Amino acid sequence: MAEDIKNYTLSELKSALSTKGFAPYCAGQVFNWIYAKKTENFDLMTNISKEMRDSLSENFYFSKLKISKREVSSDKTEKFLFELSDGASIESVFIPEGSRFTLCLSSQVGCKYGCKFCISGARGLKRNLTASEIVNQYLTVSGLIAEKITNMVFMGIGEPLDNFEMTVKAIKIFTEHKGLDFGKRRISVSTCGIIPQIEELSRLKLGVKLSVSLHSADSEIRSKIMPVNNKYPLGELMKVLKNFSESEKYPVTFEYALFGSLNTSRLDAQKLIRLLKGMNCKINLIPYNASQGAFKQPTPLEVEDFCKELENAGLFYTLRKSRGQDIHAACGQLYALWG
């Protein structure tokens, strides 16, 4: 049976070609055609022998993602709804911001972690995406938009570290020099805090950035809104993250959604300051986007006071503007109904 070629990293393609008796270096040429020259037809790969092109056509095919909907927000954020071959759906979001053009990728159909404020996991996990389904989100969107994507974030539907193998494979494909050659530091993987896979990611030395959805520096509150904290508690998570940022020599980013009257008091800010003290990190504050659960958007005063506390303590933070709310494309609003 023919295989989906976009599920192959360069080294996997090399071994596949050499088992068929072809020179492994040809894999680099194939990668270059697909990801640098955007060619999805083996017959057009003219620097490869006819014999090998025929063999490639016999053994591999090019998968495609079907777009079922494309919506543009008043702030120019765009949301793409894709239908997968089994009828399941996922979403990707394109976020233009000055000279930065970010693509937000999904890694799973649904999510099993059940964070109380996030609708992506409201119906649990249906399945993992394949590497090609992740890679194809990039290839499809980049083929449709005028701008060049400068950054990718695994912050769409799903928990990328729960689909570790395919996430890593997709990153290897994106960053392969002979192909797309996407900058490692321009890719961020976001996690709700899956300790063993954070350690594994560190061992693999992929060089991508890590974001962690923190949302509270108080373990009790965090457990209430993020059940994953019961399995991987805050204290242990922080130890692993400190090691991660030290060995990567790069700051970890903490995502902190501000929920009105829940995690925005002066005391909450002080707990956060204490937790992150001395650590090489950045904080990304995200005012809660109406999604699901009984949460409130923070008042402007709550946001201001919280920011002031962090500033006074000398912590580096950014206050993220919510993008694409009118088309439900903001953090925690991606749903993609699946059957």
**Residue from 42, 117, 138, 244 binding ligand SAH (CB under 6 A):** 117
Residue whose pair of structure tokens reads 């919280």 in the numeric block? 306
CA–CA dist 189, 88 (Å, integer): 23
**Catalytic status, residue 91:** yes
Give the interface segment with ligand SAH, choosing from 84-92, 111-119, 266-274, 304-312 (CB under 6 A). Answer: 111-119
Which is nearer to ligand SAH, 63 or 284 (by Cβ)? 284
Contact between 225 and ligand SAH by CB under 6 A: the answer reads no
Is residue 92 within the footprint of ligand SAH (CB under 6 A)?
no
Closest distance of CB 213 from ligand SAH, Å? 4
Residue 289 interacting with ligand SAH (CB under 6 A):
yes
Active-site residue identified among 26, 111, 192, 331: 331
Total residues at interface with ligand SAH (CB under 6 A): 17
Walk across the sheet containing 66-72 and list its strands: 66-72, 78-83, 89-97, 100-104, 151-154, 187-191, 209-213, 252-258, 281-287, 317-319
Distances (CA, A) of 178 to 41, 62, 143, 171: 18, 19, 19, 14
Rule CB under 6 A: which of 141-200 touch ligand SAH? 155, 159, 190-192
Angle between helices 131-144 and 164-175 (to 10 degrees): 40
**Backbone φ, ψ for residue 312 (5° rounding):** -60, -30
Question: For residues 184 and 175, is the Cβ–Cβ distance under 8 A?
Answer: yes
| 291 makes contact with ligand SAH (CB under 6 A) | yes
**Residue in 28, 64, 74, 78 with CA at minimum distance from that of residue 137:** 64
Annotated catalytic residue within 26, 78, 91, 176: 91
Pick 63 or 190: Cβ nearer ligand SAH: 190
255 binds ligand SAH (CB under 6 A): yes
Long-range own/partner contacts, residues 10-13 (CB < 8 A, 24 or more apart) = 10/172, 10/173, 10/176, 10/178, 10/179
238-249 burial, b if ≥16 CB within 10 A, otherwise e? bebbbebbeebe
**How many whole angstroms separate alpha carbon 132 and alpha carbon 138?**
10
Contact pick of 132, 163, 213, 253 for ligand SAH (by CB under 6 A): 213
Q: Which residue is nearest to ligand SAH (CB)?
A: 332
The reply on whether position 331 binds ligand SAH by CB under 6 A is yes
Q: What is the maximum span of the chain, computed from C-alpha positions, in angstroms? A: 69
Q: How far is the CB of 106 from ligand SAH (least distance, A)?
A: 9
Please give the residues from 45 up to 84 whose contact with ligand SAH meets the rule CB under 6 A: none
Among 31, 182, 288, 317, binds ligand SAH (CB under 6 A): 288
Residues that bind ligand SAH (CB under 6 A): 115, 117-118, 155, 159, 190-192, 213, 255, 257, 286, 288-289, 291, 331-332
Task: Enumerate the active-site residues.
Answer: 91, 331
